Amino acid sequence: MRRIYVNPLPVRVWHWINATGFVALIVTGLQIRYGGLIGLMSFETAVDLHNWVGFVVIGNYFIWLFFYLFSDKITVYHPELNPRKYYREAFRQIRYYGFGILRGDPNPHHANPYNKFNPLQRMLYQIIMLLIVPIQFVTGLLLWDVTRFAGAVEWLGGVRVVDTVHVLIFIFFAGFLFIHIYLASLGRTPSAHFKAMFTGYEEEEDEAGEDDPGRKSTRGTGGEPGLAP
């Protein structure tokens, strides 16, 4: 059994703080937005908690950002500049998720510290971590103190626009959380990727794989979409 160190400590710390923060933000967000439907806490408490946790999550994002900015593992987030190659690999991955996984075919992607994500994950996490998350932070910050940021809010089209964007992204993240957890269970064993996010190590059989020399070609060894950024 090979052990591949794919999740360095700062990433693991960031991931679990982020996970906890996201759950708290979703719960308090639901309470703020749909107060009539659920009654877990008062509106004021929900707003206070949402604001505080929001700032923690923003601060935590910079752990992730600085780690990758000053690490050679930043290649994990580098885009594939050759579209032909990208789509070939992406369709191979889709074919695997579509029916290969059900037949026990080998996963075409093998994670390593510099290429942790399969093409679909890479695309998704690039968009999420470098576009959607920052947009959510900015809209959240503007809504936190609308008066202070009145100019910026106005420039973006008013409170209604900023609020709609914030809520739409919130709904997206609430849905993504479930998909993320489900896909994270598609590893070598259902708990493999979860364990890797605590230990840092993904485990892979020693046997050589078909696609890449020296790699095992069993199902789900690394590269599942559940792998956290």
Partner 1 sequence: MRTAQKVLVIDDDEVVGRSFDRVLSEKGYAVSTALDGEEALEKCGSEEYDVVFTDIKMPGMDGLEVTKRIKAKCPWTPVVIITGYGTAENEAKAKVLGVSGFVQKPLTPEMIEGITAKALLEKAEPAAAQEEEMAGEVISRLPEVEEIEGRLKSVARFVKNVALLIAAPFLGLAYAIAFPFIGLGVAIMLGIRAWRQRSRTV
Q: Which residues bind partner 1 (CB under 8 A)?
A: 68-70, 74, 77-79, 81, 83, 86-87, 90-91, 110, 112, 115, 122-124, 126-127, 129-131, 206, 208-215
Q: Which sign, positive or negative, has the C-alpha torsion 135, 136, 142, 143?
A: positive
Residues 143 and 138: their CA atoms lie apart, in Å, by: 9
Residues 38 and 32: their CA atoms lie apart, in Å, by: 9
Tokens 């059900």, residue? 102
Shortest approach of partner 1 to residue 132 CB, angstroms?
A: 8
Nearer to partner 1 by Cβ, of 20 and 115: the residue is: 115
Rounded to 10 degrees, the C-alpha dihedral 41/47/49/55 comes to: 160
Shortest approach of partner 1 to residue 201 CB, angstroms?
A: 15
Residues 137 and 19: their CA atoms lie apart, in Å, by: 15
